[in-house]
Amino acid sequence: MINSPMLNTAIKAARRGASVISRASFDVGLLKVTKKQHNDFVTEVDKAAEEAIIDILHSAYPDHAILAEESGASDNLHDDNDNVWIIDPLDGTTNFIHGFPQYCVSIALQQRGQITQAVIYDPTRNDLFTASKGAGAYLNDKRIRVSKRDKIADGLIGTGFPFRADDDLEQYLKMFRLMTESCAGLRRPGSAALDLAYVAAGRLDGFFEKGLKPWDIAAGSLLVTEAGGLIGDFTGESDYLYKGDVLAGNPKIFSQQVNLLSQFA
C-alpha cells in the first residue's frame, strides 16, 4: 500500500463522503432529487457528500484548487494551478436513487497537468481503489493489474450508454453493434469511475464511452495506467481528460479497441 500524505488525505475525504452516502442509502425514498436535464439527476446526498469531501481536502490543503461535479470550479482555479483536486462525490447517482448498488466516490489530484493521486471508493462493497503516480495501483492494500487477455473476442468490455438529449444515440448504436459483435460481452453498470477501476483490477478487459467529464475519468485514468493498462481518446491519443471520449484497457485490448472505434472519433 502506498503511504503518501496526499493520498491518505484523499482516502480520508472519500470515506467521509461515503459515510454521508451510506447513511442516506437506508431510505433513498426520502431523498430530494433534482433533474439537471433529461436522465441526469442530482440529490441532496451528492451535494452533502461533496461538501464533506471538500472540507477534508481544504483543511489539509487550503491553497489547493477544486474542480467538483456539483459545485464546479473553486474561485482559485486557473490554467496554471499546481494542485487541483478533481471530485465526483457520487458517480452513479441514478443507480443510487434506485437502490442499485453500483456507485462510488472518486477523487483525484492533478499536479501541473498530471494526475498524481487517485482514490475510488465503493461503499457498498467496501472496495477502496488507490494509486499514486509511479507507485502502482491497489485494491484494499493488494496490488492490482490489468487483465492478460489478448483478444477482444474473449474480452469483457464496459461502456456507458448515452443519456442526455444532445447525445448522438444513432452513433452509439453503431458502436454498440460493432463492439457486441467483436467482444465476449458488453456491460453497462452505470458508473464510469468504477468501470475504469474494474479495468485496473482486471474485472473488465476494456472500456469505452463518449461525453464524459473530468471528474468521471481523472481517478480511474491513473488507476488504469498504474495497473499496466492504457487510456486515451478514440484515436488512442492522450487528449481525453477534458475532451471526454475515452478508451481504456490492457495494452492488447486497448489497441484493438482503437482499431475498431477510431472511426467514431
From 90, 110, 144, give the residue that closes a domain.
Answer: 144
Asked whether residue 40 falls in the same domain as residue 83, the answer is yes
For 237-254, what is the mean pLDDT? 96
Asked whether residue 114 falls in the same domain as residue 177, the answer is no
Q: Give dist(CA 32, CA 215) in Å, integer.
A: 23
Asked whether residue 130 falls in the same domain as residue 252, the answer is no
For 80-107, what is the mean pLDDT? 94
- Give 27's pLDDT tier (boundaries 50, 70, 90): confident
Helix (H) or strand (E) holding 186: strand 185-187
Q: Give dist(CA 220, CA 13) in Å, integer.
A: 17
- Give 24's pLDDT tier (boundaries 50, 70, 90): confident
Q: Which residue has the cell 461515503?
A: 18
Q: How high is the mean pLDDT of the chain?
A: 93
Non-local (6+) Cβ contacts of 3 within 8 A are none
Asked whether residue 33 falls in the same domain as residue 133, the answer is yes
Asked whether residue 140 falls in the same domain as residue 9, the answer is yes
Q: Give dist(CA 26, CA 6) in Å, integer.
A: 31
From 93, 112, 144, give the residue that closes a domain.
Answer: 144
pLDDT score of 100 more than 90: yes
What does the buried/exposed string (b/e) look like for 207-216 if buried means 16 or more CB atoms within 10 Å of the residue's CB? Answer: bbbbbbbbbb
The CATH number linked to 114 is 3.30.540.10
Q: Give dist(CA 113, CA 115) in Å, integer.
A: 7
Non-local (6+) Cβ contacts of 191 within 8 A are 91, 92, 95, 102, 103, 104
52 vs 166, more confident? 52
Domain that holds residue 57: 5-144
Asked whether residue 187 falls in the same domain as residue 255, the answer is yes
Q: Give dist(CA 78, CA 9) in Å, integer.
A: 23
Rg (CA), the chain: 17
Q: Give dist(CA 134, CA 141) in Å, integer.
A: 16
The CATH number linked to 213 is 3.40.190.80
Asked whether residue 178 falls in the same domain as residue 197, the answer is yes
Asked whether residue 183 falls in the same domain as residue 257, the answer is yes
Asked whether residue 179 falls in the same domain as residue 139, the answer is no
For 159-180, what is the mean pLDDT? 85
Asked whether residue 94 falls in the same domain as residue 190, the answer is no
pLDDT at residue 169 in the model: 85
DSSP 8-state assignment for residue 55: H
Note whether 219 and 121 are within 8 A (CB): no
Asked whether residue 98 falls in the same domain as residue 190, the answer is no
For 192-206, what is the mean pLDDT? 98
From 93, 113, 144, give the residue that closes a domain.
Answer: 144
Q: What total of structural domains would you count in the chain?
A: 2
For 7-21, what is the mean pLDDT? 97
Q: Which pTM does this prediction carry?
A: 0.94
For 134-141, what is the mean pLDDT? 97
Asked whether residue 201 falls in the same domain as residue 134, the answer is no
